[in-house]
Structure 1
Amino acid sequence: MDAILPTKDTIVKLTKEQFSKVRVLCWIMTAPMNLQKKAWHVRATWTKRCDKVLFMSSEDTEFPTVGLNVTEGRDQLYWKTIRAFQYIHKNHLGDADWFLKADDDTYVVLDNLRYLLSKHDTERPIYFGRRFKPFIAQGYMSGGAGYVLSKEALRRFVEGFRVGKCTHFSSIEDLAMGKCMEAMGVEAGDSRDKKKRETFQPFTPQNHLNKVLGSKQSWYWGYGYYPAIEGPECCSDLAVSFHYISPEEMYVLEYFTYHLRPYGYQYRFSPDSPQNMTEKTMTLKTDLEVLLT
């Protein structure tokens, strides 16, 4: 007897119900000089899919931005991060389950981020991003690729400064963040997909795909917690983020991610399928995925 497959509408409804339980607050690190040339384009593209979005700057503006009472400059990035998470903890802790930090030149695919986070409990102290390995035992997450804290991780970050376990010991934002996370018992999570491909990318798609990341002696090759790969296997089919994205490229990624589809294409990657699935079960999974195209 042939299997009765659920309709596309049913699958979409179930997917939306699942994702509605994964509430993500996105905060974007920006500056007054970047509001029109960068932040405006972030607001016009991927952040529309966040449950809540906040643009964090040194001063309040009508953009709108949240002024964090810090001066501008690269040496102030960690102060911005500290003040931003303290502000969110005080004012928006109940508005989301996960708390994403991204730069104003980072593009994030929220659907894929929600899929990743749906596998984890926000009350567990954990955070995700592109994991680097130097200087900290458990590694730390690349600031440019963006990173996302569980609710418990956010609580512990703020608590760390209250009790003195975390300090502004370095102006290097992502490294200092990672040191605090480790000190507060927050796990550096593995964000790779089932095929061990990275989901958070510290560079543009063309950099990762076209093998232009420099010689094997460059910093990039020594920083990865997991082996770095160039070319088509560099990045997951369910990639979450790319960094150093220009305003023009924001709209290109928006189009390629949410609009462009080759006619008749059938998506066959089943991220939740164990490798030892029977051929019959795999075929059924594929048929279900076809309904979503």
Structure 2
Amino acid sequence: MPSPPMVSGPSTRIDRLQTIRDTWGQDLMDAGENRYVLARIYEIYDPDFLFYCNEHTYVIAENLQCYTRSLDPSDPVYLGNRFRREGEKNQGKALLNSGAAGFVLSRGSLSLLHQAWRGGEGGGRADSLGGSVDHSGGHSDGEGEERGPPTECVAKSNYERGNPGITLARCLAHLGVYAKDTTGNQGGQRFNAYGPVRLAQGKIDQWYNDVHASDPGMWRAGPDCCSSDTISFHYVGPAEARAMHHILHHRETYLTEGYEEALSLWPASGESLGPYAARPKAGDETFDLLLKKIRVCSAA
């Protein structure tokens, strides 16, 4: 399961977390192999890979497993839906992966971060990402003084303390680990910062276009938005997550019975859909994406 989620709506947290437990979280637990961390504490679990997301991200856990199988956990990687932040568009380095879409860190990356936070290669402590610098776990510089984390690995503002992914990305860049293109072989995102309906309808905010402006092909409208081995969708509420999970894992049934049967599972009202979600409309290709494009990998 993912590391502890960032909760944007505490009143709905229980329903969201129960949905994860009942859908893709169970798929991840049933996989058996210890390829994903159960907590983000490197010293305790020493995972091959850590996958971070929040509680209204829906994950196709089997596709996450199959994707990471092709990777060497000792290689430092930082994989997700990469954003180029303002001021970095002409530097050729995409530093920030969307926390909403979810991102992967390997053991190699965690090791580098751990060393930095603990006072190794200019390091300090893990809590430096979101809080003030704590030198209590650092190492001596040989002259009796404790070394803290490098400045690149410390939150520089209250905004960054509330959005630790920014500091994490900058720290990884300092350590030589950059976000890479994770689109599929035929294009389309594996890690998506919107739900499937909005992607199929092409209803994307301007900021999303802006952060991908210098990264052509990072998203498209319709079924081409997503890779056939898509891993995640963001802004997916509990009822929508349950519908998607059932449809994706019973696709042959709904290809036979038709899209209307699949649509009958979808939450109808805005309240049940959750924030920023939408209901499929005739001709918007949502079910072409879910039923014809996306495949659930056999993780066995």
TM-score (norm 2): 0.63
Identity %: 25
Runs of at least 5 residues in structure 1 that lack an aligned partner in the other structure = 1-24, 55-83, 266-288
1:167 partnered with 2:154 = yes
1:209 partnered with 2:209 = no
1:232 partnered with 2:210 = no
| Rounded Cα–Cα distance in structure 2 between residues aligned with 1:185 and 1:106 | 28
1:42 alignment partner, one of 13, 16, 20? 20
- Name the residue aligned to 1:156: 112
Deviation at 1:49, TM superposition (A): 2.3
Runs of at least 5 residues in structure 2 that lack an aligned partner in the other structure = 30-35, 124-148, 257-294
* Count of residues paired in the alignment: 207
Counterpart of 2:210, as a letter, is G
| Rounded Cα–Cα distance in structure 2 between residues aligned with 1:131 and 1:122 | 20
| Rounded Cα–Cα distance in structure 2 between residues aligned with 1:263 and 1:252 | 12
Contact 1:30 1:39 in 2 (8 A): no
1:221 partnered with 2:221 = no
Larger proportion of strand: 1
- Name the residue aligned to 2:235: 244
RMSD between aligned alpha carbons?
A: 2.4
Contact 1:26 1:50 in 2 (8 A): no
Deviation at 1:100, TM superposition (A): 0.4
Deviation at 1:37, TM superposition (A): 2.5
2:85 alignment partner, one of 117, 124, 134? 134
Contact 1:138 1:182 in 2 (8 A): no
Look up the SS of the partner of 1:107 in the other structure.
strand
Look up the SS of the partner of 2:105 in the other structure.
strand
Contact 2:77 2:109 in 1 (8 A): yes
Counterpart of 1:101, as a letter, is Y
Distance 1:123 1:144, change over 3 A: same
- Name the residue aligned to 2:2: 26
Counterpart of 2:18, as a letter, is W
Distance 1:53 1:185, change over 3 A: closer
Counterpart of 1:116, as a letter, is Y
1:91 partnered with 2:44 = yes
Contact 2:194 2:233 in 1 (8 A): yes
Look up the SS of the partner of 2:210 in the other structure.
helix
Counterpart of 1:188, as a letter, is A
| Rounded Cα–Cα distance in structure 1 between residues aligned with 2:240 and 2:81 | 21
Deviation at 1:175, TM superposition (A): 2.1
